[in-house]
Amino acid sequence: MSHTSSIIRRESKQIMVGNVPVGGGAPITVQSMTNTLTTDVAATVAQIKRLEAVGADMVRVSIPTMNAAEAFREIKQQCNIPLIADIHFDYRIALKVAEYGVDCLRINPGNIGNEQRIRSVVDCARDKNIPIRIGVNGGSLEADIQEQYGEPTAQALVDSALRHVDILDRLNFDQFKVSVKASDALLAVESYQLLAKQIVQPLHLGITEAGGLRSGSVKSAVGLGMLLSQGIGDTLRVSLAADPVEEIKVGFDILKSLRIRSRGINFIACPTCSRQEFDVIATVNALEERLEDVVMPMDVSIIGCVVNGPGEALVSDLGITGGKNKSGFYEDGTRQRDRFDNDNVIDQLEAKIRARISRSDQSQIIVKG
């Protein structure tokens, strides 16, 4: 069953990253970053397409050298999804990828050289309608700010961000978004809370260098969940030491949990106990893998016994409730005559899910026709 969020979003200015709106009430976007060598065009393009296939709205690519910038030209020609160039220090790289059609520049204006160099990048971005992301990181604050505060603090991150914002303000450029990331979830939360009150630009959320798949996902869910539940955030990245595809999956799971944005299937499953009548864990794992291609939002409850099964099924689009030998099947809260053989639950439920998708697709064709 569909549920809507009661969260009131922070009002922000809208910018466009390629053809994707960010801020201004637009859906919160989910992004990741390639971890291939950018000069390996084939590998980088393949990874970008994998990210796009699981729902990424945009992808960031590191451009550390001019050789990488030249490779980016080929990468951009082979990809449709908006691409963000991650650039540090060398303003000439920013100018080059702008020439090659980049959709957003991730830079810190203060670390790419003198005022003239900054102005040349900003003027180029303005001329080509390319937005900028100011990306502040707790691990790379400016030396004077580190000296002033002694260690990364929320105010230190915000001071750094506002320093860069001031540069763009003086150049009369307002097409930018800002991030103030830290590896400490609570520090990041406080930083974003402070910054959200001081600028109107969109905020890019992230807990930087969050860790491995399990620990990083938990840390990101806690930090980003706190901010999103307060209406703070317009785009996000879950930073994991894992396959970037997992970052997209976790990002959408966070948004789904808060009823902010749905993509694909939301599985509601019991943790199992001796009452289960079929193998719930194996069923959920198999269906998650089989149904990765599904983009239609859907709540599917998979409960191994009749204690909580009927109640969860009543508020799910599809649901099964474990029973002896055969399990009950529900659709839109109504128990169906069909019963599932407990030895064949996976195949039967997948068939029902795909049939529902097919009916939805057909109804869309009829409406459009």
Where is the binding site for [4Fe-4S] cluster, in residues?
A: 270, 273, 305, 312
Q: Is 138 exposed, middle or buried (0-12, 13-18, 19+ CB in 10 A)?
A: buried
Q: Which two tokens stand for residue 113?
A: 């050289």
Query: To which residue do tokens 């914002």 refer?
Result: 165
Binding residues: 270, 273, 305, 312
Q: Crossing angle for the helix pair 41-53 and 66-77, nearest 10 degrees?
A: 50
- Of the candidates 198, 191, 177, which has an alpha carbon nearest to the alpha carbon of residue 22? 177
3-state secondary structure (DSSP) of residue 306: coil
d(C-alpha 355, C-alpha 236), whole Å: 33
d(C-alpha 65, C-alpha 97), whole Å: 11
Instruction: Specify which residues 177 forms β-bridges with.
Output: 133
d(C-alpha 83, C-alpha 73), whole Å: 11
Query: To which residue do tokens 């540090």 refer?
Result: 88
Query: To which residue do tokens 């303003």 refer?
Result: 91
